[in-house]
Amino acid sequence: MRLDRPGLLFALIGLAGLILPFAEFKPNRILAGEGATLAAALPLGVALLFALAAMFAMGVFRLPAILRLTAALAALLAVLLAIGAAARHLTPEGDTLARVSPASGFWLLLLALVLMLADAVARLRPGLMLRGLLLAGAVAAAWFLLASGALDQVSTLREYSVRREVFLREARAHLLLAFGSLGLALLVGLPIGMLLYGARRLRGPVLSVLNILQTIPSLALFGIMIPIFSWIAATVPGAAQAGVSGIGVFPALVALFLYSLLPVVSNTLTGLDGVSPSTRDAAMGLGLTRPQLLGWVLIPLALPVLLAAVRIVLVQNIGLAVIAGLIGGGGFGTFVFQGLNQTAMDLVLLGALPTIALTLVAGIAMDLVVEGTARRRQEA
């Protein structure tokens, strides 16, 4: 039987994960913890350890992708349930201060299994529809797992349980920041892109400015905006009432908006430039007006590239919105920075994990949409 190289890599990562501590016991949320290996962390730990080791070993050989997929899925579920069980097992009865968090071994196992899963899915070459269903299934499964209470004793969820209301509020704020800035960027960036398409001479200067904006580090951008917007709020009548302020949601939204402009404008240009000159010329020659040319021909043909811009911006802004937590803009960043201040890693994770999950889901969903429109274009 022949060896499978990616499988070998997954097995090595998995092996490290099995050796390193699986969970960490801390007397309270900020004290340093003490690691427990998988074998020690839960009652049937040794059995699970051998089962996982066998599964990784099997992955080293070339086996049908569907088999690998099933194995990885089962193992992933087992590891997730195991961390929940470990948390229950390691927490002394009645001790509300003690925390059990996932340790390096758990994260490595998670990494190995997710890679294996992604690899197996890619090898199966599922159609668009099936990939959409897989994504929905994964989201539903994660939701179900969290709602079932199986993981409730894990430290990050303990942090969540005392912040339920705040968490929901910050989740909404995070989505508002990411989607709001995307909406603004489309509202402003699409017309700029269309304008530049017609005005070649303006392209260089405008794109350079947007490029420079893109290279300003996000912290520096916030730093610049605080005095500027504070001054505007203080001196321009009505500005403060309209929501302008040095800190808070307003500068966060503006920063994300500025970062989004370059991808939107440059992709609009690329998309429109991609329409063949003869198609454009024929459209004009047949008597389409300029708005008709845009609406009937240019925008439909540029759509896949425009949607690609939406994908880039969305993924970028969901991640960047974390920084808004620094200046009181809200969002999951609030937990990250609170956690950093309190050296409570579990709280940091409460902000970081949903951000990562949101980014992944948005990225994959937009990939499906982009591919769907591009494919329909080809078939069409």
Partner 1 sequence: MIEIRNLTKIYDGTAAVDDVSLTVEKGQIAALVGTSGSGKTTLLRMINRLVEPTHGQVLIDGEDTQDIAPHLLRRRIGYAIQGHGLFPHHSVARNIGTVPKLLGWKPEAIRARVDELLELFQLDPAAFRDRMPQELSGGQQQRVGVARALAARPDLLLMDEPFGALDPVIRAKAQHDLRDIQRQLGTTLILVTHDMEEAVTLGDRIAVMDKGRLVQYAPPAEVLTAPATPFVRDLVGQAERPFRLLSLTPASAVARAGQADGAPIPRTASLRDALAECLWSGRDAVPVEGGGIVTLAALRAEAAPTARAAE
Binding site for partner 1 (CB under 8 A): 276, 278-289, 292, 296-297, 300-301, 377, 379-380
**Cβ proximity to partner 1, 240 vs 288, nearer residue:** 288
Tokens of 167: 């968490």
Under a CB-based contact definition with an 8 Å cutoff, are residues 352 and 342 in contact?
Answer: no
Smallest distance, partner 1 to C-beta of residue 377, A: 6
**Cβ proximity to partner 1, 308 vs 321, nearer residue:** 308
**Cβ proximity to partner 1, 214 vs 292, nearer residue:** 292
Smallest distance, partner 1 to C-beta of residue 165, A: 48
Smallest distance, partner 1 to C-beta of residue 301, A: 6
Q: Report the 3 state secondary structure along the chain.
A: CCECHHHHHHHHHHHHHHHCCCEEEECCCCCCCEEECHHHHCCCHHHHHHHHHHHHHHHCECCCHHHHHHHHHHHHHHHHHHHHHHHHHHCCCCCCCCEEEECHHHHHHHHHHHHHHHHHHHHHCCCHHHHHHHHHHHHHHHHHHHHHCCCCCEHHHHHHHCCHHHHHHHHHHHHHHHHHHHHHHHHHHHHHHHHHHHCHHHHHHHHHHHHHHHHCCHHHHHHHHHHHHHHHHHHCCCCCCCCCCCCCHHHHHHHHHHHHHHHHHHHHHHHHHCCCHHHHHHHHHHCCCHHHHHHHHHHHHHHHHHHHHHHHHHHHHHHHHHHHHHHCCCCCHHHHHHHHHCCCHHHHHHHHHHHHHHHHHHHHHHHHHHHHHHHHHHHC
Q: Nearest Cα to 177, choosing from 259, 233, 246?
A: 259
Smallest distance, partner 1 to C-beta of residue 345, A: 51
**Cβ proximity to partner 1, 223 vs 274, nearer residue:** 274
**Cβ proximity to partner 1, 235 vs 276, nearer residue:** 276
**Cβ proximity to partner 1, 289 vs 341, nearer residue:** 289
Smallest distance, partner 1 to C-beta of residue 42, A: 57
For residues 16 and 47, what is the distance between their CA atoms, to the nearest angstrom? Answer: 17
**Cβ proximity to partner 1, 96 vs 276, nearer residue:** 276
Residues 6+ apart with CB under 8 A from 172: none
Smallest distance, partner 1 to C-beta of residue 270, A: 17
Smallest distance, partner 1 to C-beta of residue 186, A: 21
Smallest distance, partner 1 to C-beta of residue 277, A: 9
Smallest distance, partner 1 to C-beta of residue 266, A: 23
**Cβ proximity to partner 1, 111 vs 284, nearer residue:** 284
**Cβ proximity to partner 1, 210 vs 305, nearer residue:** 305
Smallest distance, partner 1 to C-beta of residue 280, A: 8
Residues forming beta bridges with residue 101, ordered by sequence position: 24
Q: Nearest Cα to 355, choosing from 313, 315, 308?
A: 315
For residues 53 and 227, what is the distance between their CA atoms, to the nearest angstrom? Answer: 57
**Cβ proximity to partner 1, 65 vs 301, nearer residue:** 301
